[in-house]
Structure 1
Amino acid sequence: MSLDTPAATKPHERLATHLAEDMDAVNVLIRERMASEHAPRIPEVTAHLVEAGGKRLRPMLTLATARLCGYTGPYHVHLAATVEFIHTATLLHDDVVDESNQRRGRPTANLLWDNQSSVLVGDYLFARSFQLMVETGSLRVLDILANAAATIAEGEVLQLSAAQDLATDEDIYLKVVRGKTAALFSAATEVGGVIAGADEAQVRALFTYGDALGIAFQIVDDLLDYGGDSTKTGKNIGDDFRERKLTLPVIKAVAKADLEERAFWSRVIEKGDQRDGDLEHALALLDRHGAMAATRADAVAYAAQAKAALEAVAPHPLTDMLRDLADYVVARVT
Structure 2
Amino acid sequence: MLKLKDIQTPIAQELKLFEGRFKESMRSSVPLLNRITQYIIKQKGKQMRPMFVFLSAGLCGGINDSTYRGASLVELLHTASLVHDDVVDNANERRGFFSVNALWKNKVAVLIGDFLLAKGLLLSVRNDEHTLLKIVSEAVEQMSEGELLQIEKARKLDIQEDIYFEIIQKKTASLIASCCACGAASAGVADDQVQLLRSFGEKVGIAFQIKDDLFDFGLDDVGKPVGNDIKEKKLTLPLIYALRNTSASEKKRIINLVRNHSENKEKVAEVIAFVRSSGGMDYATEKMLQYQSEAFAILETFPPSEYRSALEQLVRFTTERTK
Fold conserved (TM > 0.5)? Answer: yes
1:122 alignment partner in structure 2: 113
RMSD: 2.3
Q: Map 1:84-163; keep pairs closer than 5 Å.
A: 84-163=75-154
2:52 alignment partner in structure 1: 61
Q: 1:310 aligns with which of 299, 304, 319?
A: 299
CA contact (8 A) 2:217 2:276 kept: no
1:223 alignment partner in structure 2: 214
* 2: CA distance, partners of 1:43 / 1:294: 47
CA contact (8 A) 1:71 1:196 kept: yes
* 2: CA distance, partners of 1:104 / 1:273: 23
* 1: CA distance, partners of 2:177 / 2:45: 19
Corresponding residue SS for 1:146: helix
Corresponding residue SS for 2:152: helix
* 2: CA distance, partners of 1:136 / 1:65: 21
1:31 alignment partner in structure 2: 23
* 2: CA distance, partners of 1:107 / 1:91: 13
Structure 2 residue identity aligned to 1:62: V
Corresponding residue SS for 2:304: coil
Q: 137-146 or 241-250: which moved more?
A: 137-146
1:171 alignment partner in structure 2: 162
Structure 1 residue identity aligned to 2:241: K
* 1: CA distance, partners of 2:230 / 2:72: 33
Q: 1:14 aligns with which of 1, 6, 24?
A: 6
TM-score under structure 1 normalisation?
A: 0.88
Unaligned runs of 5+ in 1: 4-8
The Cα shift of 1:274 comes to: 4.2
Unaligned runs of 5+ in 2: none
- Compared with structure 1, are the counterparts of its residues 152 and 139 closer, same or farther at alpha carbon in structure 2 (3 Å cutoff)? same
TM-score under structure 2 normalisation?
A: 0.90
Structure 1 residue identity aligned to 2:226: I
The Cα shift of 1:190 comes to: 0.7
> What's the CA shift string for 1:280-316, capped at 9, x where partnerless?
1111110121111111111111111111111222321
The Cα shift of 1:113 comes to: 2.9
Q: Map 1:269-288; keep pairs closer than 5 Å.
A: 269-271=258-260, 274-288=263-277
* 1: CA distance, partners of 2:50 / 2:129: 18
The Cα shift of 1:69 comes to: 1.6
Residue 193 (structure 2) pairs with residue 199 (structure 1): no
* 2: CA distance, partners of 1:165 / 1:204: 35
